[in-house]
Amino acid sequence: MFAKAKDCPFKGSDNDYTSKEIRDLFASELREFRELTSDVRVFSKKLVPLFDGPAAAMKPQYDGKNALYGCSGMSRWYIWIDKPRRLEVGFNDSGGEDLVEISHAVLQDSGGRTVYSHKSSGYEEIETISSMDVEIKQPGLYVLECNGPAQTIRPLFPDDLKYVYEQSVEHSFHAQYFTPGYFYVPKGTGNVLLDYKTFLTIKAPSWAKPGSYDETKQGLLSIPVGEDDGKIWELRHVTASHFQFLNIPPYVATSRENLLVPTEVVEKDRQ
């Protein structure tokens, strides 16, 4: 986003920037920043399924070397529960089969009421869990926040549940994908705007090949949407770092069928 080395060659003491050059450079970068960020949008957290019908289990693609998907830091997951049930969630390392110990797991309903909570206190003796088990009496949307303490983890949700994770300005975490993740681009979107500090591979439905965006170009990224608005896009590969969606719903699913999107987006795009 900001000027790269080739745009700002080093100037030594014999060839310093003048005050005017600095002002002009700053003004140019500021104009570009304002143009890119003028379309930033904030969406509600009132999520509903994009599709009717059952959930789809994520297809295992662990190759013995790379993580299937995982996260480090505090992650936030939105879970759609369509009937009263027992909810069991295990916490797995990012690619293997063993459960791992985590120090924080809090589940709340859409009204912000806590239905399950495990929070460790102190650093010398951290109390950890490797799974959670709770009876859900009221159908609807639930929000799970979970954290390490230090591992890359992934929650193991039942295969018959729809769920997404959040990658927004308000809340994002280090994520890594080596299997597709899916996100929705609403109708009328001109460009997909992201802030990223990672390697990303993204594919829109009409593209013959995915587009790759590496760390050397990190910053604000604007991707023209063209005919691919109102459709589901794919995250093909994400390295372990932060990225945020700035103008589309910042929610990623592990299968198309499981996508949850804000209520206002569903209502508008179905008209």
Beta bridge partners of 224: 191
Q: What is the mean pLDDT of residues 192-207?
A: 86
The confidence score (pLDDT) of residue 33 equals 56
The confidence score (pLDDT) of residue 64 equals 41
Exposure string of 213-248, with b = 16+ CB inside 10 Å and e = fewer, is: beeeebebbbbebeebbeebbbbbbbbbbbbbbbbb
Residue 128 exposed, middle or buried by CB count within 10 Å (0-12, 13-18, 19+):
middle
The pLDDT tens digits for 229-241 are 999 999 877 665 6
pLDDT higher than 80, residue 266? yes
The confidence score (pLDDT) of residue 204 equals 95
> Is pLDDT larger for residue 208 or for residue 25?
208
The confidence score (pLDDT) of residue 29 equals 58
The confidence score (pLDDT) of residue 120 equals 67
pLDDT higher than 70, residue 51? yes
Most trustworthy range by pLDDT among 47-61, 162-176, 251-265: 251-265
Comparing 165-179, 217-231, 235-249, 251-265, the range with the smallest average pLDDT is 165-179
pLDDT grade for 180, boundaries at 50, 70 and 90: confident
Residue with tokens 């297809």, as numbered in its chain: 59
How remote is the C-alpha of 44 from its chain's centroid? 15
The pLDDT tens digits for 121-158 are 655 556 788 899 999 999 999 999 988 655 667 788 99
pLDDT grade for 258, boundaries at 50, 70 and 90: very high
The pLDDT tens digits for 28-38 are 655 665 555 56
The pLDDT tens digits for 76-107 are 999 999 999 999 998 876 555 677 788 889 99
pLDDT higher than 80, residue 63? no
Share of the chain above pLDDT 90, in %: 39
Return the structure tokens found at 4. 């790269």
CA distance 160 to 53: 11
DSSP per-residue letters across the chain = -PPPTTTS----TTSPPPHHHHHHHHHHHHHHHHHHHTT-----S-EEESS-S---PPPP---SSS-SEEEES-EEEEEEE-S-EEEEEEEEESSSSSB--BSEEEEEETTS-EEEEEE---SSS---BSEEEEEE-S-EEEEEEEE-SSS-EEEE--TT-EEEEE-SSSS--EEEESS-EEEEE-TT--EEEEEESS-EEEE-TT-SS-EEE-GGG-EEEEEE-GGGTTEEEEEEEEEEE-EEESSS--EEESSGGG-EEEHHHHHHHT-
The confidence score (pLDDT) of residue 43 equals 92
pLDDT grade for 168, boundaries at 50, 70 and 90: confident
The confidence score (pLDDT) of residue 213 equals 77
Arithmetic mean of pLDDT over the chain: 79
How remote is the C-alpha of 24 from its chain's centroid? 36
pLDDT higher than 80, residue 175? no
